């Protein structure tokens, strides 16, 4: 996404008032997020947040970051333990005149079971492509968070489905 779009989204989060989520802004130093994770070190970071869903005590880190150092910003969502990312969102498309973040489930595990993961995701969640409306104001950030948390939880569930079912029949 363009830097301006990332700044706009980060500002909406800063100015939001939501009872369902607790938002803690992370401190950046000279436009970076020091000692967060080896994958983020030294990369331009516009903003970072620890976002906790109050009713389930589920947390993720939301980073607006130049992920590949090419002036293309991402909303990267890290698991709360920082072990890996839950989603890397960068594409914004206009759908019926309204900007949406568009994300596609594309597992890249090295165990030969990505087709099963993708099939499960599509069967259970309707599509491998997710469209989340960019909030037009800080008043709609709560719904934006609901959709992002749902995306992360669905992705994690699909990634782990091969541990639940035996696909080697």
Judged by DSSP in three states, 117 sits in helix
Q: How far apart are CA 144 and CA 14, in angstroms?
A: 13
**Which regions of the chain are under pLDDT 50?**
169
Q: What is the pLDDT of residue 161?
A: 87
What pLDDT does 162 receive? 81
- Which residues have C-beta within 8 Å of that of residue 19, sequence separation ≥ 6? 54, 142
Terminal Cα-to-Cα distance of the chain (whole angstroms)? 42
Write down the pTM of the prediction: 0.92
Q: Which of these, 88, 48, 47, 92, lies nearest to 68 by C-alpha position?
A: 88
Contact 105, 156 (CB under 8 A): no
pLDDT, position 167:
53
């Amino acid at each position: 996404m363009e830097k301006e779009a990332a700044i706009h989204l980060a500002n909406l989060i800063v100015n939001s008032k939501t009872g369902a989520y607790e938002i803690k802004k992370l401190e950046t130093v000279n436009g970076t997020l020091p000692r967060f994770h080896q994958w983020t070190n030294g990369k331009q970071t516009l903003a970072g947040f620890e976002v906790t869903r109050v009713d389930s005590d589920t947390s993720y880190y939301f980073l607006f970051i130049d992920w590949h150092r090419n002036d293309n910003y991402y909303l990267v969502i890290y698991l709360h333990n920082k072990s890996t990312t839950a989603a890397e969102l960068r594409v914004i498309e206009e759908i019926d005149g309204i900007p949406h973040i568009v994300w596609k489930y594309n597992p890249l595990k090295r165990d030969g079971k990505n087709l099963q993961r993708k099939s499960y995701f599509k069967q259970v969640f309707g599509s491998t492509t997710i469209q989340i409306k960019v909030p037009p104001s800080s008043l709609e950030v709560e719904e934006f968070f609901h959709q992002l948390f749902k995306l992360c939880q669905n992705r994690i569930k699909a990634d782990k489905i091969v541990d639940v079912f035996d696909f080697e029949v």
